[in-house]
Structure formats: C-alpha cells, structure tokens
Amino acid sequence: MAIRKVARLGHPVLRQRAEEVPEAEIDSPRVQGIIDDLLVTMVEYDGAGLAAPQIHESVRIAVLVLDEQTDPHIWINPVITPIGDEMISSYEGCLSVPGMRGAVARHVEIEVDAVDRRGRALHFHLKGFPAIVAQHECDHLDGVLYIDKADRSTMTFLEEYRRFGPWPLEKDARADELSGDDADE
C-alpha cells in the first residue's frame, strides 16, 4: 500500500476514458494494489471518494465513502443508471481541482451496478449525497471533472466558500444538506 500523488487538473490521465478491468485480472496483484493505494490515498487526502485516474491509473476502479457507518465501497467497472428526471444542485470539490468549489446539478436518485474487489456483483440504489458522490467519482472514469458540469457563476475558491458560502442555489432547498460540507470528492 502506498499513498499516491493525486493527478491535478491539466494532467492528461484525467481526460481519458478509463479502461475496463477484465474479470480475469480483478484478483491480480496489480489491480489489488491499485485498490489498496486508492483506499490509503483517499484517507490521507480526506476525500469522500477517489477514482483510479486520479492516482494516474487509467482503469475503471473507484472507492467511495457513502456513509460514515460503513467501510469504503470498492467499485470495479461501475455503471450508473439515473432514476427519474429529478436533479439537485450542490457544491462539489475535487482532490484533482484543489482549493475550488462549484455547484453541479446531478440526478437525485440512481442505481449502480459494479463488481467488488473479489469479482462479486454489486447493485446499489442511491439517493441524495451518496448518489452525488457516486456520480462524481464515476465521471472521473469517463474523463469528466466536476468543473465541466458546474454552473460557472458558482465557482469559488475554497477559502471564500468557507468564509462566505455556501450560497443558496435555485430551487434546491436541500442543497446545503447534500453538499457534504467541506469533503473533497
């Protein structure tokens, strides 16, 4: 296990669609090592999640903390399916875009299919903040950063966000509770 350097905005690995992890390689030392490194790196940087491209590995693996009562989730080759059309905007941050926040509209409710680090099928139905974290991390696997989806008029430095924000978002009475406070995703 190693704490890895987090790729920052501008590094090409963040803009590539990550490769699927072949089922036969899930138990390999390489894939298991990437997972272990993601977990310790996410903890070190106090993230709510981390995707493999953020540690310079262009494979479809993400680790996420969906609630404080459970261990981090490990998703390999996740696929997100939005449920309904309801969207909510909340302020997001990212370890790959340090020191910034911006409001992003995301689906309130989603389903996720993936496999775990042992190759077992996973299925989740997520709402609210866990759904936001899942969408944010899975975007990384497609080479998309939250700033690509953010309302540009809401972009702010973290210091100003903490001092003056978060600012109310249109038609989102729940945005504050879903913003995840100061956690970077």
Q: How many domains does the chain have?
A: 1
Whether 2 is covered by a domain: the verdict is no
Whether 115 is covered by a domain: the verdict is yes
Confidence of residue 177 (pLDDT cuts 50, 70, 90): very low
CATH assignment at residue 150 = 3.90.45.10
Whether 68 is covered by a domain: the verdict is yes
Give percent above pLDDT 70 in the chain: 91
Q: What is the DSSP letter of 35?
A: H
Whether 165 is covered by a domain: the verdict is yes
Helices (H) and strands (E) in the chain, counts: 5, 8
Q: pLDDT tens digits for 31-79?
A: 999 999 999 999 999 999 999 999 999 999 999 999 887 899 999 999 9
Whether 77 is covered by a domain: the verdict is yes
From 57, 92, 137, 185, the catalytic residue: 137
Whether 146 is covered by a domain: the verdict is yes
Segment 78-106 mean pLDDT:
97
Whether 103 is covered by a domain: the verdict is yes
Q: Could you write out the DSSP letters of every residue in 93-128?
A: EETTEEEEEEEEEEESEEEEEEE-TTS-EEEEEEES
CA 84, distance to chain mean position in Å, is: 21
Whether 37 is covered by a domain: the verdict is yes
Residues 6 or more apart in contact with residue 135 via CB below 8 angstroms = 80, 106, 107, 110
pLDDT at 121 over 50: yes
pLDDT at 181 over 50: no
Q: Is 137 a catalytic residue?
A: yes
Q: How far is Cα 146 from Cα 167, in angstroms, rounded to an integer?
A: 18
Domain that includes residue 65, residue range = 12-178
Segment 16-26 mean pLDDT:
98
